[in-house]
Amino acid sequence: MKRLIVNADDLGLTIGINRGILEAHERGIVTSASLMVGRSAARHGAEIARSTPSLSVGLHAVLDENDELVVTEKTCAEELGRQLNGFEQLVGDRPTHIDSHHHMHRDPRIHDLFVAFADRQGLPMRERAVSHCPDFYGEHAVGVESLLAVLDRLPEGDTELGCHPGYATDLDSRYTTERELELDTLTNPRVRVRLGDLGIELIGWRQL
C-alpha cells in the first residue's frame, strides 16, 4: 500500500500564501499544512485551520533568520514551547505534527533537542514518523510532468511530500513565482488521475 501526505509549508506567512494553500487543498491534492505562528498572516492561517477540519495543520517551527540558526542548545526547547503555545492559542487545538522552517531541525546542534521535544509533546515529526520526499521544489522541479514522475517512483508505505503553494503578491522571498507554479501543478486534474491509476491514497497527518 502507498499512502501520501501532501504538506504545504508556510501557512501564516502571507494572506496570499494562505489563500494558495487553501485552494490547493480544496481543488487539489494538498492534505496538510504547517503553520508559522509568528508571521503577519498567522491569525488568518489559524482561521483556515479552524474552519477546514479536513486539512491537517501542524507547527512549522521557525528557528532561524536568513537561514542562520538563532536558537542555542539552552534556548531551543524554550522557543519550541513558546511557538507550540502560540499555535494552541491561535488554533484552539494541538498541532497534528511538527516540522521546521528551512529544515532547521536537521542542524546537528539542535537535532536531538528537537526530537526530544517532539517526543515529550507526543507530536509526529517530519522525517521520523514517515519518509519525507523533498523532490517537488525549485523552478525545474515543480511542473506537472515532474510531479507525475515523483508519484511514479513513490515507495511502498507512508510518504510526506513537501510543497510550497501560494500567491506571491507582497511576498518578500527568493521563492515567489515557483509558488504559483506549484499551486497550478497541485490542482491539475492529471495529478489526481495519476494518483488513482497508481493506487496511491491521500491522507493527512491526522490519519496516521
Residue 194 has a pLDDT of: 98
Pairing of strands 157-163, 200-202: unpaired
Give the chain's radius of gyration (CA, Å).
16
Q: What is the pTM of this model?
A: 0.94
In this predicted structure, which of 7-11, 105-109, 173-177 has the lowest mean pLDDT?
Answer: 173-177
The angle at the Cα of 62, spanning 56 to 64, to the nearest 5 degrees, equals 155
In this structure, the chain runs to a length of: 208
170: region left, alpha or beta (phi > 0 left; psi from -120 to 50 alpha): left
Cβ–Cβ < 8 Å for 114, 74: no
Give the Å distances, CA to CA, from 158 to 29, 56, 127, 179, 187: 15, 15, 11, 25, 21
Residue 170 has a pLDDT of: 78
Residue 160 has a pLDDT of: 98
The model's confidence at residue 84, banded by pLDDT at 50, 70 and 90, is: very high
pLDDT tens digit sequence for 127-156: 998 999 989 887 767 889 999 999 999 999
Would you state the cell numbers that stand for residue 32, as one nine-digit string?
496538510
Residue 141 has a pLDDT of: 76
pLDDT tens digit sequence for 31-62: 999 999 999 999 999 999 999 999 999 999 99
Answer yes or no: is pLDDT of 175 > 90.
Answer: no
DSSP code for 105: G
The number of helix segments (H) and strand segments (E) in the chain equals 7, 9
For the chain, percent of residues with pLDDT exceeding 90:
88
The model's confidence at residue 30, banded by pLDDT at 50, 70 and 90, is: very high
Work out the number of other CB atoms within 10 angstroms of the CB of residue 143: 16
Spatial distance between the Cα atoms of 165 and 21, rounded to a whole number of angstroms: 6
pLDDT tens digit sequence for 98-121: 999 999 999 999 999 999 999 999
HEC readout, 55-93: CEEEEEECCEECCEECCCCCCHHHHHHHHHHHHHHHHCC
Which domains, and CATH codes, for the chain?
2-207 (3.20.20.370)
